[in-house]
């Protein structure tokens, strides 16, 4: 296999990395978490599902993608009442991921993409992407892989709630690693829902996420009992196909010179 066919960032030597930089591959950073996912799923759900999607994107677009090792931890204090959950403070998470993206930019890669699988990381990866653009000469975008699977899931879903350790995540895990799902413990759970707010940020009006130990003893929001590997296969293919399409769009995204509209001198020495 030629150097340019390798899609796993860490499988390249430093000399081979120069070829990848020359090809201007899109560098993908998967982000997830280590947190409780009910009695039926392992703690690695978010990072495992995200990395699996990203690696398949790499396989299908190996000549134009490099996939970094994933970030396995995220903002998770709201799950801390459940044993095993690991929490990373938001400022630490942002700083750490930003150090990764800035390192990638430093080496000369012009297009970077953060692909997330943990809901509470979403505002954080958005900030990482924005800060990368502002602090480097590269472009960085952020997304959740589930966004590309929404349409496919809507065609096969049997339940209304799409949240956590639910039909969506359990189906995808069943497709990828059925032997690791405790199928005898599949269950369902609801959050506290008001007119404008819910305890799990599922309201379209107001964002709010309470400690899960206040409103659930199983750690599930949604219904995992209707999950199937077949649904997971549809989710997986849609997420991967959509991301491959975006990779091509992102790789070709223009980067013109900035145009300064000031007519008077600016204090260019200021740094934020």
pLDDT in tens, 134-158: 999 999 999 999 999 999 999 999 9
Question: Is pLDDT larger for residue 186 or for residue 1?
Answer: 186
Average confidence (pLDDT) over 157-183: 98
- Beta bridge pairs of residue 84: none
Among the listed residues 122, 26, 80, the one whose alpha carbon sits nearest the alpha carbon of residue 212: 80
| Architecture of domain 3-251 in this structure | 3-Layer(aba) Sandwich (3.40)
DSSP helix/strand/coil, 200: strand
Instruction: Please write the tens of the pLDDT for every residue from 178-201.
Output: 999 999 999 999 999 999 999 999
Average confidence (pLDDT) over 28-45: 98
**152-186 exposure pattern, b = at least 16 Cβ within 10 A, e = fewer:** bbeebbebebbbbbbbbbbbbbbbbeeeebeeeeb
Instruction: Please write the tens of the pLDDT for every residue from 194-228.
Output: 999 999 999 999 999 999 999 999 999 999 999 99
Q: Residue 159 in contact with residue 171, Cβ under 8 Å? A: no
Q: Return d(Cα 93, Cα 149) in angstroms, integer.
A: 26
Which pLDDT score is estimated for 271? 86
Average confidence (pLDDT) over 79-87: 98
Whole-structure pTM value: 0.97
Which pLDDT score is estimated for 2? 81
Which pLDDT score is estimated for 1? 65
Q: Return d(Cα 214, Cα 206) in angstroms, integer.
A: 19
Which pLDDT score is estimated for 103? 98
Average confidence (pLDDT) over 145-172: 98
Indicate the average pLDDT of the chain. Answer: 97
Average confidence (pLDDT) over 27-54: 98
What pLDDT band is residue 272 in, cutting at 50, 70 and 90? Answer: confident
Lowest mean pLDDT segment, chosen from 2-6, 47-51, 127-131, 158-162: 2-6
């Amino acid at each position: 296999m030629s150097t340019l066919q390798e899609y796993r960032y860490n499988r390249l030597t430093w000399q081979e990395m120069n070829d990848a930089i020359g090809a201007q591959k899109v560098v993908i950073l998967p982000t997830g978490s280590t947190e409780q996912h009910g009695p039926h799923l392992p703690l690695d759900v978010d990072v495992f599902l995200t990395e699996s999607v990203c690696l398949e994107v790499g396989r299908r677009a190996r000549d134009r993608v490099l996939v970094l090792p994933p970030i396995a931890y995220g903002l998770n204090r709201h799950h801390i009442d459940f044993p095993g959950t690991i929490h990373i403070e938001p400022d630490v998470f942002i700083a750490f991921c930003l150090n990764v993206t800035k390192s990638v930019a430093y080496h000369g890669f012009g297009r970077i993409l953060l692909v997330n699988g943990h809901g509470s990381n979403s505002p954080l990866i958005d900030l990482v992407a924005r800060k990368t653009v502002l602090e480097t000469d590269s472009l960085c975008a952020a997304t959740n892989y589930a966004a590309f699977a929404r349409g496919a899931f809507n065609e096969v879903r049997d339940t209304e709630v799409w949240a956590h350790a639910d039909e969506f995540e359990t189906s995808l895990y069943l497709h990828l690693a059925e032997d690791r799902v405790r199928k005898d413990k599949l269950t369902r759970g609801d959050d506290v829902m008001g007119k404008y707010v819910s305890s799990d940020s599922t309201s379209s009006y107001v964002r709010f996420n309470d400690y899960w130990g206040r409103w659930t003893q199983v750690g599930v929001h949604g219904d995992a009992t209707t999950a199937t590997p077949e649904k997971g296969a549809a989710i997986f293919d849609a997420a991967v196909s959509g991301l491959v399409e975006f990779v091509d769009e992102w790789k070709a995204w223009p980067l013109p010179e900035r145009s300064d509209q000031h007519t008077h001198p600016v204090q260019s020495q200021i740094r934020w």
